[in-house]
Structure 1
């Protein structure tokens, strides 16, 4: 199954309507003339954001894409592959949003700690001896769980005076990661390991490290850096064994908001210590909300309208 391309009419409509929506939702420092794929930074401590075009994409992947990393028992003749990436379905992006250009950095998170709004200090700030002090601050923050992320988002929303920053849903994340493509990766059928920080077949495990968020040329066509590899990224979607199969990003957002307290969340994107097949846009994982690890981080989304029905 392949996605239908974004029509010129949709893009033209987005270019006309987005500035009005942005102006309605803007803080004092928010630009009011943004168009799809424009970048903005709302406040000095806010991450750089990229405006997403409205459109649609095919979510999920055929079973054969993940056959090599399906280690579950299968009956003879039963197809191998990760069923968690099913069903394949078309999702329309019907609500305007922006997504962070980079994974949230240790430096950005530590400003929340220093302000007294984040109660947990990620330990990797102090135990990475292979980086300069400046590089440490540009590493993706790790060793944080869903509750730590929630404190950071609360602090960030306090800075701009509106409840607009949050984690993306898994549908919003996958749409941005695919960047209009329908191939296994946003780069085609292969992920260039000279550009992206994923496990190389002949790598020495002792050499595996995250890299600063602006290191390497690891961006997709829409400008999202390290959305494949580097660290696995948290979403706001509660873990489900299969995709919900919803038709719009608004429905995915409503489902995530009404799930209540998750025991597990969906994570996406692969990491520096996982093979490239785990870095496909379709790959899903489901750690517990309390879990902290050295390969799990996050990037944030921003709503581009205040009121939602």
Structure 2
């Protein structure tokens, strides 16, 4: 796996009331990320998942192309924790984890305050993302090989679209109203885990940097994958 260094910093998380497509669970608030980290340049691929787990949970699914370079999908949040556990056992350290929701959005935005990391111009979204308009709606009803669209300003690919990405946090619709300013980690409990970034099934609004979705941690979908965080570079 290839990782990109994400430096410490402060950013505005969520969306302003004026943002087209913004939702009530995206209350704008300032967040500080106090520790830098390494984030996967790409979504975890099928080849990487199979090499670690020896399984192909996407096999036989209707909307999946089986290919080593395509994102691993049909993986639950719970299964991702087992994947991370095996990686950490092999490393002999707690080296890998999921990003928090705040860490994910900070890295996605890459210094931006616009609807998407590249700006507000929806006409160029297809240069950066696989989504409804250039995938599902034209008969390509599946996630595509990782890294085939343009990256954001920090060199991260597919932060918008292709597949949703699990993050560590429980989903809370009003959590932003009470979250700490420094390194928020989500509600202490819940029934849904957060997925970020939108997918090949979704419209442009669902790919916004601020957009949030909640999924059952035991659920699997052809449009849900994962991107890992590495705490340090060994």
The alignment's TM-score, normalised by the length of structure 2, stands at 0.89
Compute the RMSD of aligned alpha carbons.
2.3
Aligned to 1:245: 179
**How many residues are paired up?**
229
- Written as runs of structure 1 = structure 2, the 5 A alignment for 1:14-25 is none
Higher relative contact order (CA 8 A, sep 6+): 2
Structure 1 residues not aligned, in runs of 5+: 1-46, 68-80, 115-119
CA drift of 1:290 comes to: 1.0
Q: Output one character per residue of 1:55-111: Cα deviation in whole Å (capped at 9) or x when no partner.
A: 1100000233244xxxxxxxxxxxxx511111x111111022111100011111111
Query: Which structure dedicates a bigger proportion of its chain to strand?
Result: 2
Residue 207 of structure 2 corresponds to residue 207 of structure 1:
no
SS in 1 for 2:104: helix
CA contact (8 A) 1:229 1:271 kept: yes
Within the candidate set 95, 102, 110, 2:50 is matched to: 110
CA contact (8 A) 1:89 1:245 kept: no
CA contact (8 A) 1:179 1:220 kept: yes
Residue 144 of structure 2 corresponds to residue 216 of structure 1:
no
Task: Tell me, in whole angstroms, the C-alpha distance in 2 between the residues paired with 1:66 and 1:265.
Answer: 25
Q: Output one character per residue of 1:237-256: Cα deviation in whole Å (capped at 9) or x when no partner.
A: 1110122432112xx24x56
Task: Tell me, in whole angstroms, the C-alpha distance in 2 between the residues paired with 1:293 and 1:246.
Answer: 31
Residue 16 of structure 2 corresponds to residue 62 of structure 1:
yes
Structure 2 residues not aligned, in runs of 5+: none
Within the candidate set 152, 167, 177, 1:235 is matched to: 167
Larger C-alpha radius of gyration, 1 or 2? 1
Task: Tell me, in whole angstroms, the C-alpha distance in 1 between the residues paired with 2:40 and 2:64.
Answer: 26
Within the candidate set 273, 278, 302, 2:206 is matched to: 278
* 1:203–1:144 Cα change, 3 Å: closer
Residue 22 of structure 2 corresponds to residue 84 of structure 1:
no
Deviant stretches of 4+, over 2 Å: 63-67, 126-131, 201-209
